Structure 1
């Protein structure tokens, strides 16, 4: 949650990247693709306007540079920006917001055919497998000492573990759900629910980390 109405979580995401080092907007976009975009994709659409806003607020500074004959603008965090970032990091953030079009399609599966729902579930599993390939490659880079910003490995481990477990959850759920849907009749209203599967779902929901 933002501590300033002028700043959003996306503002702090960009500010956080600037706290690591100075970047051009092109380099920031690359970071979106390889890391931050996996946990805060909204930042991608703001990648060219957000740094300019941070400069207007005095939280970042812009410097024009020449790369050969091509000009570029490089953004760096200011001391005030670093102080604002630290203040935000000391506030408990909001919990995850689940946004999944495929899950929404499964929710309304009675208006589709079982074949269409199976295709959706296969796509969900394929998405998880594909995303995890990049996740695994990054994990192996850090394990071998070849990952970028090795001084940040401790916190990257925590985020990487979350993404690893999340992709695995989606893949395993999609596989289980596909097995269930494969038993559905053409008319979903005629389907019966396996009592043991319902009981297992209740057992899985009845957990307490304390």
Structure 2
């Protein structure tokens, strides 16, 4: 690699080189992907709203769905219910990012109204400020990963898709990184190296350690 190539700024999400009109931390395709995934979560027909139809045992997994009742039967599918709660892995992280961006003067948190209203507001304000985040937020890669994970978690419940298999891969520093085929990118906690999806797929499998 030449010095000129080394000086080219790269997207912190996918590690591709940034064009001159893409100053900051993220490339245009990555920001567009984040926007699509956020948009898919919100609204009356969005993934979050559709989770309620998956609460009944058997819904979304090919099993018999209990019908004829105005309310979901008990026991509910806890994996789905967890995604729908205020502190769950969808609304909780979204509002955490809104608070972060609010501290930078770029968003405003709204915790009034229904959970759906709160989610729609969070998605709306985060989407509105995506261009700013691409150029100014040093943790946009972490934001991209979290949005991807919540989008995939909701989509799997709607489609009945089985969870992706977790595969341990080895960073050259010796640290094990656990990924799936859907992982957009990850940072090694051992050495701090940031990997895009392609680089993660190129890492060797981590050796299994058998206890003595």
* TM-score w.r.t. length of structure 1: 0.25
Q: Which has the higher contact order (CA 8 A, sep 6+)?
A: 2
Greater share of helix: 1
The structure having more radius of gyration, on CA atoms, is: 1
